[in-house]
């Protein structure tokens, strides 16, 4: 099995760009798709990126996903930050043992 | 519009049982895998179980294997989670989530139902 490691928290100002990383401990990050989920306080998760870099309908193009094989990590980038983007963000991938989640990153927009 | 509505949560004593349901609408339920994911108070997301569209493939997290049973009724557009031998550490909000076609993850989530295991 493998682990996905995310920073515990990040903060940035409105209008700026922030990137949240998700590093896979073993096996290639490119071997299995990575998803990103947003969870606002008191709400259920929603999907903001699936299959590494695909946005579900309704998710603004300020959200983008990518993978980097050299660092064996995935990234979620949010540009033009808004206060409504303040939330917990979780990466998720899989291998033979379905569904591995990262520990989550708390994004503060201040 | 895709909707997933969980029900069946509540307070149960350690060792007790509970059955969660998830009513799906707005899509062809029988074409999608379905999943349960939970979140303990103040903690992160934890995958619990997955079931393929025709129930041919079923998976469980090690933490619930042998105690929980996932099932579905495609005629009723419903997903279930039978939880037996409940423990305090099973206390969590349980989310129903639709599987992504071609990948292992979720594209739509329900609002969740709270399960509290306490004496």
pLDDT (mean) for B34-47? 97
Interface test with A, best of B45, B57, B70, B98 (most A CBs within 10 A): B45
Shortest CA distance from B35: residue in chain A: A99
**Residue B109: pLDDT band with limits 50, 70, 90:** very high
| Chain A environment of B50 (Cβ under 8 Å) | 98-99
| Chain B environment of A6 (Cβ under 8 Å) | none
pLDDT (mean) for B61-79? 97
Cβ of B103 within 8 Å of Cβ of A56? The answer is: no
B95–A contact, CB cutoff 8 A: yes
**With 0-12 CB in 10 A as exposed, 13-18 as middle and 19+ as buried, what is A35?**
buried
pLDDT (mean) for B24-37? 97
Which two structure tokens, joined as six digits, stand for B33?
């895998």
> In this predicted structure, what is the pLDDT of residue B86?
98
Cβ of B105 within 8 Å of Cβ of A33? The answer is: yes
**Which among B45, B100, B112 has the least Cβ separation from residue A50?**
B100
**Which among A35, A99, A104 has the least Cβ separation from residue B44?**
A104
Q: Looking at the predicted structure, is the pLDDT value of residue B12 above 90?
A: yes
Distance CA A99, CA B104 (A): 7
Query: In the predicted model, what is the mean pLDDT of chain B?
Result: 97
> In this predicted structure, what is the pLDDT of residue A1?
84
> In this predicted structure, what is the pLDDT of residue A98?
77
Mean pLDDT in runs of 10 for chain A (110 residues)? 96 98 96 96 97 95 97 98 97 88 97
The number of beta carbons lying within 10 Å of the beta carbon of residue A2 is 17
**In 3D, which of A89, A78, A82 has the Cα closest to residue A22?**
A89
Q: Looking at the predicted structure, is the pLDDT value of residue B103 above 90?
A: no
Distance CA A25, CA A48 (A): 23
Which residues 6+ apart lie within 8 Å of A29 measured at CB? A23, A67, A68, A69, A72, A73, A74, A93
Cβ of A51 within 8 Å of Cβ of B109? The answer is: no
Q: How far is the CA of A49 from the CAs of A52, A60, B4, B108, in angstroms? A: 7, 11, 19, 12
Establish, for the pair of chains A and B, how many residue pairs have beta carbons separated by less than 8 Å. Answer: 65
């Amino acid at each position: 099995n493998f682990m996905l490691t995310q920073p515990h928290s990040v903060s940035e100002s409105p209008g700026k760009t922030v990137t949240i990383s998700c590093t896979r401990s073993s096996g290639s990050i490119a071997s299995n798709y990575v998803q990103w989920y947003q969870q606002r306080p008191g709400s259920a998760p929603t999907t903001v990126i699936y299959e590494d870099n695909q946005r579900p309908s309704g998710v603004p193009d300020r959200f983008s996903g990518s993978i980097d094989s050299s660092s064996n990590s995935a990234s979620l980038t949010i540009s033009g930050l808004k206060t409504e983007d303040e939330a917990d963000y979780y990466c998720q991938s899989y291998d033979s043992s379905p569904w591995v989640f990262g520990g989550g990153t708390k994004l503060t927009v201040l | 519009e895709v909707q997933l509505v969980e029900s069946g949560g509540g307070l149960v004593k350690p060792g007790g049982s509970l059955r969660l349901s998830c009513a799906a609408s707005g899509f062809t339920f029988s074409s999608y895998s379905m999943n349960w994911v939970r979140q303990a108070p103040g903690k992160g997301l934890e995958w619990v179980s997955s079931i393929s569209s025709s129930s041919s493939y079923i998976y469980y997290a090690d933490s619930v294997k042998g105690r929980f049973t996932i099932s579905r009724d495609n005629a009723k557009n419903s997903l279930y989670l039978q939880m037996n031998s409940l423990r305090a550490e099973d206390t969590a909000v349980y989310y129903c989530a639709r599987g992504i076609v071609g990948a292992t993850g979720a594209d739509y989530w329900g609002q969740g139902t709270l399960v509290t295991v306490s004496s």
